[in-house]
């Protein structure tokens, strides 16, 4: 080895040693953050599930299971070897695969038939949804055979979808939102509205695939037939579930139609949310420059970039769902002002400000969020709408737990500035949860027009 080689080898060794020392120093510097983040993981918060007011009866599930069995038998009659194949390539329909799933669902739930009565309301609703999805898969196999043999044509399916559209409109007209309180109406019927919206989505998807609309340039009427079958069953379910809700509501002698109250609540929330947002400062003066505030990040995430929001539900005339979502949006509007002075942690057209956030800051923020959340549950947890909103916060807290885990997994990976930005982002999300838990009563008061609720 010549002198130049020795020097090169020696120099590379110094680089390796230097980098190793650098990473070791980073590891040592972040030990306090590591310990604080581990401590944050130990902070507990209440677990609250979304209240379920749609309670399919045992007979309802049994009827749905029988419906599925009848359609599977009909498909087997048309495909004796159970090898479901289209004449042409299917781009979206996947008839064979969907039929296999339908058979598997039937077999699985037939084994559970005798235990339906033991299921919770939420579990029964999930089973009902699975049965309706499987029903579509079985009907698709039936429709494909009928189409190939000329026993059914595309126009028949178009006619069926048109009739379904009328049935959906009738289901909307039959909704009177009988309840004893606005909170119960928005929560219980909001759940029913979601069920109806699922049926509407199936009808719309069926229309797109039978006509080849929009970005869909293929026409697969068998897929449309599947969507139609699922939608028709879900509309029938909605009738039974609505009757059950009304029966429950009328156990209270003050129960009446809340349709007008829901309409008024939505308009009131719309006006008050706009008023609150108009007063928010979305930029922060930083010397000669302006940087976005965290309030702007909240607005972007919760208003601009959100699909299927309250306005969407309102346009579909799903009043309870619209109000429930609008209350949640109003709660976010109310917390904007708390973040006007906090720099955003994401900037698209400028450098990100420097932060000195530590693991201890994250730990303390989580603790305050957990305390505020626990206080809200203890104080107002019996209110249906409060409980629903708290259940959404549980999902946010659960996501934060995963963020804590990712921080610990990558504790030695990021550069110092990236590390503190990530910690600050997590700290701010905990602050949001704290402020939201505090703002829930005021958000509901805006809906009800009852200052006593705030």
pLDDT per position as a tens digit, 294-314: 999 998 888 764 566 788 899
Residue 243, pLDDT score? 96
Q: CA-to-CA distance for 406 and 37, rounded, in angstroms?
A: 11
Instruction: Tell me what pLDDT residue 154 has.
Output: 94
The whole-number pLDDT of residue 4 equals: 43
Q: What is the pLDDT of residues 328-352, one digit of tens each?
A: 999 999 999 999 999 888 866 556 7
C-alpha distances in angstroms, 381 versus 227, 259, 285, 366? 38, 25, 40, 20
pLDDT at position 451 is 55
| Cβ within 8 Å of residue 454, ≥6 positions away | 441, 442, 445
Q: pTM for the complete prediction?
A: 0.88
For 201-332, list the strands marked E by DSSP.
256-257, 283-286, 289-292
Give 148: exposed, middle or buried? Use CB within 10 Å, 0-12, 13-18, 19+.
Answer: middle
What parts of the chain have a pLDDT lower than 70? Answer: 1-29, 92, 214-218, 286-289, 304-308, 347-351, 451-454
Using DSSP's 3-state secondary structure scheme, residue 343 falls into strand
Of 442, 133, 429, 102, nearest to 294 (Cα)?
429
Which pLDDT belongs to residue 260?
97
How far from chain centre, in Å, is Cα 120? 21
């Amino acid at each position: 080895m010549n002198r130049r080689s020795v020097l090169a080898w020696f120099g590379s060794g110094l680089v390796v040693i230097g980098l190793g020392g650098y990473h070791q120093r980073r590891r040592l510097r972040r030990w306090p953050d590591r310990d604080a983040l581990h401590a944050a993981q130990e902070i507990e918060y209440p677990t609250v599930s979304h209240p379920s007011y749609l309670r399919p009866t045992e007979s309802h599930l049994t009827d749905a299971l029988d419906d599925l069995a009848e359609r599977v038998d009909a498909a087997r009659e048309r495909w004796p070897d159970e090898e479901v194949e289209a004449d042409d390539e299917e781009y979206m329909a996947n008839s064979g695969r969907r039929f296999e799933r339908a058979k598997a669902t039937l077999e699985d739930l037939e084994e559970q038939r005798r235990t339906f009565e033991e299921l919770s309301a939420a579990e029964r609703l999930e089973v009902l949804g699975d049965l309706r999805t499987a029903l579509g898969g079985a009907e698709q196999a039936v429709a494909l055979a009928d189409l190939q043999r000329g026993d059914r044509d595309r126009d028949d399916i178009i006619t069926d979808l048109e009739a379904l559209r009328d049935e959906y409109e009738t289901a909307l007209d039959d909704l009177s939102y009988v309840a004893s309180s606005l909170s119960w109406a928005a929560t219980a019927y909001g759940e029913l509205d979601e069920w109806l919206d699922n049926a509407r989505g199936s009808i719309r998807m069926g229309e797109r695939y039978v006509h080849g609309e929009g970005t869909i340039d293929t026409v697969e009427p068998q897929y449309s037939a599947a969507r139609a079958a699922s939608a028709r069953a879900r509309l029938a379910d909605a009738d039974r579930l609505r009757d059950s809700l009304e029966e429950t509501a009328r156990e209270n002698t003050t129960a009446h139609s809340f349709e007008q109250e829901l309409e008024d609540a939505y308009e009131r929330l719309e006006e008050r949310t706009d008023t609150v947002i108009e007063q928010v400062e979305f930029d922060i003066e930083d010397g000669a420059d302006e940087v976005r505030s965290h309030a702007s990040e909240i607005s972007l995430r919760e208003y601009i970039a959100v699909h299927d929001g309250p306005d969407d539900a309102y346009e579909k005339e799903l009043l309870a769902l619209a109000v429930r979502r609008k209350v949640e949006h109003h709660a976010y509007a109310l917390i904007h002002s708390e973040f006007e002075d906090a720099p955003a942690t994401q900037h698209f057209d400028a450098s990100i400000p420097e932060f000195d956030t530590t693991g201890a800051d994250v730990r303390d923020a989580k603790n305050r969020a957990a305390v505020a959340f626990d206080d809200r549950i203890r104080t107002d947890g019996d209110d249906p709408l409060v409980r629903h909103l708290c259940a959404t916060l549980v999902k946010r807290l659960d996501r934060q737990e995963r963020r804590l885990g990712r921080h610990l997994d990558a504790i030695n990976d990021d550069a110092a500035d990236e590390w503190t930005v990530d910690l600050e982002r997590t700290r701010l999300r905990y602050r949001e949860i704290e402020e939201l838990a505090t703002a829930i009563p005021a958000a509901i008061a805006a809906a009800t027009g009852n200052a006593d609720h705030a």
